[in-house]
Each structure stands twice: as structure tokens, then as C-alpha cells.
Chains A and B, each alone.
Chain A
Amino acid sequence: MSLNVGFLIITVLKIAGLLAWVYGLLWGLGQRTWAAKLVTVVGAFAVIQLAISLPFGSVTLFSDFDSGLLFQACTMAMVALGLNLIYGFNGQFSLGQWGFYGIGAYAAADITYRWTNDDARGLLVVGIGVILIGLVILVVHRFLSQYTGVPVMSAFTLYLFGSIAAGAVAVALGGAGHAALAPLFGTKAAPGILQSPVVIQLVFFLAVLLAGAVAAEISFLFGLPVLSLGSDYFGIATLGFTIVVNTLMINSDTILPFPEMKGGRGMIGIPKLTNWFWAFAFLLAVIVVMRNMIHSSTGRAIMSVREDETAAKVMGIDIANNKLLAFVVGSLFAGVGGGVYAHFIGFLSPGTFDFLVGFNPLIIVVFGGLGSMTGTITASFGWIFFLEGLLRVILGQLGTEAPTWRFVLYPIALLLLMLLRPKGLLGTVEWGFLKAPWVPMRSRAEANTPPQA
């Protein structure tokens, strides 16, 4: 077997270095002062960027392949963090995360694809629609809060028809807005102001945020009825959701009115507007939002639902609302991850969003430890680099069946882990920034005055 030992060692070192980088980042973010946090983020970015752009002689420290893996790891970490919020912290066994990831990817890709093809409707319709549907949800929620114990089906009907009406208004308004903006796109020979690179990058940024919002609103509408089912039923219903989303993707040009998505052939021509930096930036945002949420009273309410629903209810916690909140925020992270992912290679295939692949985030979350953000991030990076990087190289010696062998070996690893450490690698341990923050027991003024003897 002609395995290149030197390459192997370098790869292992690279993975170790990367994990050290992740932990260093989390440690630095956990420092008290803002300056230290800023230095950490900039430093973490600079280290990778230098490794990518500075070759040592003939050896590139961090090849394009590695930076692609890093990108994948960052998006996977976003999806897995969202799932950890739903499943690890809130205890709702969800297999729908991959569907929301796919929704985010296709929504964002459609927005930028249309924009680069002189069509502002993608951005306008989705943007207006997200805002209007959000308003409708707020209004209906406000209305329903006058009542106690509203039947789920009635609430769902109200939300659904409100959202459909808002969506119809958004399509009309978006069409009108597009007609107004059309001259600004210019022609192929003389691109207008809306086709300048800065605007397109801005559209990408908006598209990613909107993708997250779309995923969040769909998860709200879907989660409202489905979360009232029991835990295993919820799991199966969400698995069904992923399968349905995948079916719709495969038939997006026949059943759904989106010819540009090209159905099962895959969507091509998406502008490549992202690199690992954007994934890293969005991952940082997701980490910060999630950490602050978990260590707030909302987060404690979410965790109490996992521990014991009856006890939580007795303590006055609204179980249904907290489940829905965790589900919506988790799906939002997945949508953002998908939105970033869509712009990396400029190609989206429904095969990527198959429900079999959708078990990956679940396995990552369980590997890292349910209810441990540190574990999830570690597992995401380790997973991508180990499976895609190292194992692919080792098994590459086996010839054409290498990909299959990969999937033969990793269930065995999974079985061993489950038999030896059923709580995951890290359990519920947190590290650095993700630890529960130091909470002053007294106010600062009180703390500064010496106690009266």
C-alpha cells in the first residue's frame, strides 16, 4: 500500500492545529475586555488567511481544498448548532434541520441568481414577504394571546391564511418594485449601478439573512402544529418535512414555478460570492447569538422544557412557546448556513439535501455531546476534516469504492462511540466563551462599597 506517510502526518497535524485554533478562538472570545475579543477575532482570521496565502517554498500550508473544508466546517457548525439548540437544549428530536438548510440555500441562491440576471423580484418579493409575514404572525399572535388554550389547528389555520395573503401582497409589491428598479440594472454592455460588485455583495449579505428569515418563518408555520405531537412523532414528522422539501427541490421546475432552479439537474450559475471568511463571520454571529440566548433566562426556560415539562409548567414556563422559539431560532441558523453554502461553488443539487445526508448534523450533535455548544463546534470541524479530508485520502487507496467504504466505517465508529460514551465526546462541558458568563451577585456600586462591619 503506497500510502504517503508524510502527507498523513501533516494532515493529522493540520487537524490538531485547527482544533487548537477553534479552542483558542473560543478562549479569546471569553476574555472580559472588548479589546481582547477584537484582537482574538482579527488574529484568528489573520492566522488562517496567512496560512492560505503564504506558501512555504513548494508546500502550501493550507491549500484551496483545505479552505473549502474549512468553509464546509463553518456552515456545518451553524446547522449543527441550530440542531443542538432544538435537540440538545430543548429536547425536541428533530430531523428537519437539513430541510431548513436546503430551504435557506435555495432561497438565497434564487435571490442572488435573479439579481445577477437583472431581476430584482427575488430580493424584493422575499424581502417584503418576510417582513409582511412576520407582521402577520405578530398580529395573529397578539390576537390569539387574548385567549387561553386555543386549539392548535385553529391557530395554525389563522397563521397559514394570514401568511398566504401576505405572500400574495408581497408578490404584487415585488413585481411593481422590480418594474421601478429595472432601468438601474443597465444593459450587458453598460451595467447599471445595481450590478456593481459592492451592491451584489450587499445583496448576498441580505440574501443570507433573508434565507435565515424564510427558514425561520416556515419553521414557525410547520412547527406550530407539529410540535404539539409527541417526541418520536415529532421526529418522524420532521423527517417527513426533509423528504418533502427534497422532493419539491427535485421538482422545482415542474411542480413549483421556479424554472431557474432546474429541478433534479441542479441549479447552476449561482454567483460565487463567498469564501471561508463569510462562513466564519456568520458562524461567529451564530455562536454569539446562541451563547447569549442559552445563558439568559430564555435559555434556562428552554432547557427546563427538556428536563421536565411538567415541572417547567408548574414554574410558569410556557412550554409550547419555548419549544417553538427554540425550533424557530434553530431553523434560522440552518437557513443562514444554507444561504452561505449556496454561494460557494455556484451549484446546488437536490442530492446535497437528501435526508440521508441530513443525519450528519444529528450525528455531529450527538458526537459532540447533547447540550454542549463547544462539543458541537469541535465535532463539526473534526467531522469535516476527518471524514472528508483524512479518511478520503486513506481510503483513496481503495479505488472507486472509497466513498462507500467511508460510509461503512463511520457507522462502526458511531456504534463504538455510542457503546463507550453514550453522552457524546464532551457531554455538557463548555469551554471559554461558551461557559456560563460570570454574573455579578451584587450591583457594581454595591460591590465597590465595603460591607458594613
Chain B
Amino acid sequence: MAIPSSSPASPAVRARKPGARLAWIGKVFLSLLALAVGAILFRDLVRDPRLFLQIVISGLQLGFVYALIALGYTMVYGIVKLINFAHGDVFMVGSFVSFYAVTRFQLHVWPSALFPDVPYAVVVIVGPATVILLSMLVCVALAVTIERVAYKPLRDAPRIAALITAIGVSFFLEFFGALSFVFSPRFIPYQRPFDVVTWYAKDGIHLVTSAQAPPEGSITFSNIFLIIVLASVLTQLLLQFLVRRTKIGKAMRAVSFDKPAARLMGINVDRVISFTFAVGAAFAGLGGVLYAIAYPSIWSQLGILPGLKAFVAAVLGGIGSIPGAFVGALIMGQAEALTMGYISTPMRDAVAFTVLILVLLVRPTGIFGEPEKEKA
């Protein structure tokens, strides 16, 4: 039986032109959009450079906190391919633990309570550091428990089962925390473990006191801003060291690359996954305390939106990539702060997600993401 050879000039099939010819339309649209945003920002910068700089500083503060949370998302996603929705709530638990440690147990002044002769400088450093360490430890314990109880049994189940479980755990933490005998259903004014000191920069750096308000045209920044930046950068470096230079870091990279192969090489995959959750949770706990100090009002659903935005930041930077999470978080913080400053506060969430969609359209795997492997 002869098979009719298909001729290229078959009259039934209309020849279709290559669509690449239309690529300019999208490019023009995107460039116009970028130009418009750039022009508006430039106009605002020229109009009032001081205000612009102040907004950028608040954006940096937000962005560095997001970076702390985003690390946990990006590591967990890189290794188990799970959007760990409960991560934001671990962050919330971190801020509540520090709140109760400070208000109920006065943990932030324990050195002076035990040894009355200790100099003030030691108390103010050791006390808050203890509070932060306690929060981090509680968060680690919580995250490892969640991983063991909820995620581990589902490791071989379809991915959606783990995702739904993560949503369930997240809901549980939010609403269990809202019970009055657990945390509280209301917003609570946060009591800081140390005082926030604000400086202003104009002809040198001066302290803002109740007597000396910042003069016109100066830029203010606080110690919590510096601590957040420092903590975030140090965490970043620590994590880079952990992943690149240590044995467990090598194991993490191996598990994220190929789980069965890693298991065959004698890596205890379960332990590595637990360790990843623990590291992420420790950073979330740190972030929770710092976030609560910077924005001192906490409630049981505190973690939802920062958690989501941190995840978006991780996706923006290329999920699975640690520097990507950092850069994405900074972009996210700036986008939000500039929106709050120049458009309107409620639009911050809208702009955050619009930025995500636009970046993903231009670079589908995020800024630092590796191109996805073709399905074999």
C-alpha cells in the first residue's frame, strides 16, 4: 500500500507566517511600560530627593526582612519542590515567642536580674540576643515537627497533597494562634526587647531625641534598620558558606539535584530535608523578631502577607537560588515602598504581584533561575 507523501505545497494547509515577526509589539509595550515607570520615578527623585531617599531606606528595611523569610522558602522549594505555606506562620510564631519572652519573663534583661553589677552595655546586647535565640529555637522545633508530622508521610504522594497539607498547617497555626489561651485574637502592641534609637543625617549624623526633632530636609534612620541590614547580610553570607563549603551543604545540593541518586550515594535524605526546614525556620524566627521590632503590632495572621511576599520574592529571584531570593526580596521591598510612597498604600500588594508577573513573562525562571530542563 502506497502512503501518499505529503507535499509541502498541499492546498489544504494554509502556510502560516512565523510569529517571531510580531515580537516587536510585545517588546515595544514592555519598553514603554518600563520607560513610563522610570520617568515617573525620575520625576519624583528630582522633585524631592530627600523624600525619595527616605522611601528607599524604608524599602530596604522591608526588603531585608523579606530576604530573611525568602531564604526559607527558596531552600525548601529547591529541595522538596513544595510551597511551604506554613513558613509565614512560623515567622509569626517567632515574633509571638519573643513578645511573651519579653513581657512575661523579662528575658531581655536577664543578665541584670541575675547579676545586678553587670554593665548596661552587656545587658543590652546579651538580653535581646537571648530573646532572638529563643525565638529561633522555638521556630526550629516547630518547623521540624511540622515537617515530621505533616510533610514526611506525604513525600511520595502527589505534590498537591503536600501543598494542601501545607495550607492546612498554615490555617491551623493562624487560627490556633488566634485562640485566647494561645496567643490572642487581637492586634497586640509589641513590646521591644531594646529601644529603637533614631538618627538623622544632616551636616553629620545626630541623635533624634524628644528635645531635638529631626530638622527639615534631613534623612532619618534607626538602629533597627541597621540591625536588620546587618542580620540579613550576615545570614546570607552564613548560608552561602553553609551550602557551598560544608558537608551538609553539599548533601543539600545533592538532594536538590536528584533525590534518588543522593540516597544511593548514602546521604540520609530525610535528615537533610529536616535540616533544611530547620535552617529556614531559624531565619524566619530571626526575621519575625526583627519585623515585630520594626513594625511593632502583631497578631496571629501577621505572617500571611509577609510570607507570601517573601515567596514571591524568592520566585522573582529564581526559586532555589539563594542570591536570587536576596535580590528578589530587595526588589520587592523597593517596589512596595515606592508604591506606598507615591501611589497609595493599599496598592502595595497589587504592585508586588504585578512586578512578579512581568518579570516571569520576561524571564520565566526568575532573575537568577536556571532554565528548566526539557522533559525527557
Give A residues with C-beta under 8 Å from B: 93, 144-158, 225-226, 228-230, 232-233, 235-237, 239-241, 243-244, 247-248, 250-251, 254-255, 309-310, 356, 359, 362-363, 366, 370, 401, 404-405, 407-408, 410-412, 414-415, 418-419, 422-423
Task: Tell me which of A146, A401, A407 contacts B171 (CB under 8 A).
Answer: A407
Contact A146 B17 (CB under 8 A): yes
Q: List 16 A-B contacts (CB under 8 A).
A: A145-B16, A147-B16, A151-B26, A155-B26, A229-B364, A233-B315, A243-B350, A247-B349, A255-B344, A255-B347, A366-B160, A366-B164, A404-B175, A414-B165, A415-B169, A422-B154
CB of B43 to closest CB in A, whole Å: 21
| With A149-B19, A153-B27, A154-B22 as contacts: A237 and B353 at CB distance below 8 Å | yes
| Beta-carbon contacts under 8 Å, B335-365 to A | 344, 346-347, 349-350, 352-354, 356-357, 360-362, 364
With a cutoff of 8 Å between Cβ atoms, the chain B residues found around residue A248 in the complex are 350
With a cutoff of 8 Å between Cβ atoms, the chain B residues found around residue A423 in the complex are 158
With a cutoff of 8 Å between Cβ atoms, the chain A residues found around residue B211 in the complex are none
Find the residue from A226, A235, A359, A411 having the highest chain B CB count within 10 A. A411
| With A226-B357, A236-B312, A370-B160 as contacts: A411 and B154 at CB distance below 8 Å | no
Does residue B7 face the partner (Cβ distance < 8 Å to A)? no
Complex alpha-carbon distance, A405 and B172, angstroms: 10
Q: Smallest CB-CB separation from A413: which chain B residue?
A: B168
Per-residue CB contact flags for chain B residues 223-264 toward chain A (1 = under 8 Å, else 0) read: 000000000000000000000000000000000000000000
Contact B349 A148 (CB under 8 A): no
Q: Smallest CB-CB separation from B16: which chain A residue?
A: A148
Per-residue CB contact flags for chain B residues 295-319 toward chain A (1 = under 8 Å, else 0) read: 0000001001000100110010001
Contact A151 B22 (CB under 8 A): yes
| With A229-B364, A363-B167, A414-B164 as contacts: A243 and B353 at CB distance below 8 Å | yes
Contact A93 B18 (CB under 8 A): no
Contact B18 A408 (CB under 8 A): no
Which are the 10 A-B pairs with shortest beta-carbon distances?
A153-B26, A240-B353, A150-B19, A407-B175, A154-B26, A147-B19, A422-B161, A411-B172, A154-B25, A411-B168
Contact A404 B83 (CB under 8 A): no
Task: Tell me which of B23, B26, B157, B311 contacts A156 (CB under 8 A).
Answer: B26
Contact A414 B16 (CB under 8 A): no
Task: Tell me which of B153, B180, B354, B361 contacts A244 (CB under 8 A).
Answer: B354
Complex alpha-carbon distance, A356 and B81, angstroms: 22
Q: Smallest CB-CB separation from A410: which chain B residue?
A: B171
CB of A246 to closest CB in B, whole Å: 8
With a cutoff of 8 Å between Cβ atoms, the chain B residues found around residue A415 in the complex are 150, 165, 168-169, 172
Complex alpha-carbon distance, A422 and B164, angstroms: 10
CB of B18 to closest CB in A, whole Å: 6
Q: Smallest CB-CB separation from B174: which chain A residue?
A: A407
Complex alpha-carbon distance, A295 and B21, angstroms: 38
Complex alpha-carbon distance, A227 and B301, angstroms: 30
Dominant secondary structure at the B interface: helix
CB of A321 to closest CB in B, whole Å: 14
With a cutoff of 8 Å between Cβ atoms, the chain B residues found around residue A146 in the complex are 14, 16-17
Q: Smallest CB-CB separation from A235: which chain B residue?
A: B83
| Beta-carbon contacts under 8 Å, B8-57 to A | 14, 16-30
Q: Smallest CB-CB separation from B376: which chain A residue?
A: A310
Contact B160 A151 (CB under 8 A): no
Complex alpha-carbon distance, A414 and B178, angstroms: 19
CB of B21 to closest CB in A, whole Å: 7
With a cutoff of 8 Å between Cβ atoms, the chain A residues found around residue B19 in the complex are 144, 147-151, 154
Contact A419 B153 (CB under 8 A): yes
Contact A414 B168 (CB under 8 A): yes
With a cutoff of 8 Å between Cβ atoms, the chain B residues found around residue A156 in the complex are 26
Per-residue CB contact flags for chain B residues 153-191 toward chain A (1 = under 8 Å, else 0) read: 110011011011101110110111011100001000000
| With A230-B372, A411-B169, A419-B153 as contacts: A244 and B350 at CB distance below 8 Å | yes
With a cutoff of 8 Å between Cβ atoms, the chain B residues found around residue A149 in the complex are 18-20
CB of B158 to closest CB in A, whole Å: 6
With a cutoff of 8 Å between Cβ atoms, the chain B residues found around residue A407 in the complex are 171, 174-175
Contact A230 B364 (CB under 8 A): yes
Does residue B104 face the partner (Cβ distance < 8 Å to A)? no
Contact B169 A153 (CB under 8 A): no
Complex alpha-carbon distance, A155 and B23, angstroms: 9
With a cutoff of 8 Å between Cβ atoms, the chain B residues found around residue A237 in the complex are 353, 356-357, 360
Task: Tell me which of B23, B153, B179 contacts A401 (CB under 8 A).
Answer: B179
Complex alpha-carbon distance, A419 and B20, angstroms: 48
CB of A238 to closest CB in B, whole Å: 10
Contact A152 B26 (CB under 8 A): yes
Task: Tell me which of A151, A411, A412, A418 contacts B23 (CB under 8 A).
Answer: A151
Contact B360 A233 (CB under 8 A): yes
CB of B104 to closest CB in A, whole Å: 21
With a cutoff of 8 Å between Cβ atoms, the chain B residues found around residue A411 in the complex are 168-169, 171-172, 175
Complex alpha-carbon distance, A230 and B169, angstroms: 25
Complex alpha-carbon distance, A228 and B17, angstroms: 21
| With A157-B25, A363-B167 as contacts: A251 and B179 at CB distance below 8 Å | no
Q: Smallest CB-CB separation from A222: which chain B residue?
A: B357
CB of B328 to closest CB in A, whole Å: 12
CB of A180 to closest CB in B, whole Å: 37
16 extra A-B contacts, CB within 8 A, seeds A230-B372, A401-B185? A93-B163, A147-B18, A149-B20, A153-B23, A153-B25, A154-B19, A158-B25, A228-B364, A232-B81, A232-B83, A236-B315, A247-B350, A359-B171, A408-B172, A419-B154, A422-B158
Complex alpha-carbon distance, A315 and B92, angstroms: 49
CB of A304 to closest CB in B, whole Å: 15
CB of B13 to closest CB in A, whole Å: 12
Contact B164 A240 (CB under 8 A): no
Contact B160 A93 (CB under 8 A): yes
| With A225-B361, A408-B172 as contacts: A153 and B165 at CB distance below 8 Å | no
Contact B18 A401 (CB under 8 A): no
Complex alpha-carbon distance, A382 and B113, angstroms: 57
Contact A422 B172 (CB under 8 A): no
Q: Smallest CB-CB separation from A405: which chain B residue?
A: B179
Contact A363 B179 (CB under 8 A): no
Complex alpha-carbon distance, A363 and B356, angstroms: 25
